[in-house]
A and B are shown apart, each in its own frame.
Chain A
Amino acid sequence: MDQKEKHEIFEKELFPHLDALNTFAYHLTYDEDYAKDLVQETYMKAYRFMDKYQKGTNAKAWLFKILKNAYINHYRRDSRRPTKVDFEDVVNYQDSDDDRGSSYFDLREEIFENMMGDEVTTAINSLPVDFRTVILLCDIEGFTYDEISKIVDIPTGTVRSRLFRARNMLKEKLKEYAESLGFEDKRGNKGNEKSDE
């Protein structure tokens, strides 16, 4: 692959995903400057390893995997971020391919009307990183379970169960914020999944 072809692929297939990568990086790091460093590093690596990329294949998933790996390798255990907690042990313990044991967390639609974007971002960023990641990849970026499985290196069944738990955790967070804003759930059976029937 010559330089001209590399530049062409870069411009047409890789660069259009800049916004999505930047959003993902921001929610991994909580920090716009760190996010930019991460995105820049991702594009540098992608360009360097362009020979491994097959033109016309899933460029977005490839870039997200590079970014996720860069985050793990260079940021997650970075000494500049000593307060970060490693949730891997917790997640490994909780993950399984079967989510039938978990109950669905009910969130009233009226809550949405009391919320602003800041609360959503805060709620997402308060989730453990492994749960946050699947929400971002699926609900924000629209990746399939199979694509997420390859990006995060976990089985498809684990993607599904992790998503189920992550969404429930997010609903609980949003409910807490709604209540702190004065919204009151008057059903008298909060969190009861049968309440809607």
Chain B
Amino acid sequence: QSDYGMYLDNEMSTKRNFIKNNVHRPNVTPDFIQSIKDKIRVV
């Protein structure tokens, strides 16, 4: 078991996919984008 117990996290010098592909990513609407830009303009 100890032998059984970094590579996929790219933490090594010179297989997650399911989670990455299925996580919910809320839609960013053009209105939301514009609202942020409008607020920035008045800062």
Contact = CB atoms under 8 A, between A and B. Distances in A.
Contact of B24 (A10, A100, A121): A121
A18 interface: yes
Interface in B10-29: 10-11, 16, 18-20, 22-26, 28
Contacts of A18: 28, 33, 36
Given A40-B35, A40-B36, A140 B20 contact: yes
A144 B8 CA distance: 11
B40 A144 contact: no
Classify chain B's interface size: 20 to 34
B23 A193 contact: no
Given A23-B23, A40-B39, A194-B4, A115 B18 contact: yes
Interface residues of A, number: 40
Interface string A132-164: 000100111010110000000000000000010
Contact of A116 (B9, B22, B35, B36): B22
Contact of B19 (A19, A103, A145, A170): A170
A170 B23 CA distance: 12
A142 to B, nearest CB: 8
A43 B37 CA distance: 9
Given A22-B28, A112-B18, A144-B11, A104 B23 contact: no
B23 A32 contact: no
7 contacts: A22-B25, A39-B36, A48-B43, A124-B19, A140-B23, A145-B11, A197-B4
